[in-house]
Amino acid sequence: MTAFNQEYDGDIGISDASLKRLMDYDWPGNVRELRHAIHRAYIMADQQQKLLVLPENLTSPFSKVAHQPQAGIRVGKTVEEVERELIESTLEHFDGDKKQAADILGISLKTLYNRLNSYGNVEL
């Protein structure tokens, strides 16, 4: 807040409830996503009360996470189908970077290649 107040010569604060929302949110992106959310809220701040105005949805409109299709775990799907969907979604998120995908999935790169090979039509 101090940085934005200095940059914009303002005196905007944050309510305890808004601070709690920011702290409770998972922030699936990174620190930049948090900074952007606060910046957007600062721009929309209530000038009379001098408080941030947080949006209903804290997800960044620019976040890859926000635009990912949600993998559906539903009754009737096999563990193999869910695993494949998770691997493919993770690879898509990391733009095909298999090393990053394996790291985030907690499996070895060799295991990832073995799984992809077993799917047959997935590009290696």
pLDDT in tens, 90-111: 888 888 899 998 988 889 999 9
Report the CATH number at residue 75.
1.10.10.60
* Number of folded domains that form the chain: 2
**Residues 76, 111: one domain?**
yes
Q: What is the pLDDT of residue 66?
A: 46
At residue 59, the pLDDT reads 73
Same domain (yes/no): 78, 39:
no
Q: Among candidates 53, 50, 24, which has minimal Cα distance to 37? A: 53
pLDDT tens digits for the chain (124 residues)? 788 888 888 899 998 998 998 888 887 767 778 888 888 888 888 888 898 888 887 776 555 554 445 555 677 888 888 888 889 888 888 888 999 989 888 899 999 999 999 888 555 5
Same domain, 76 and 112: yes
Are 34 and 73 in the same domain? no
Structural domain boundaries enclosing 24: 2-43
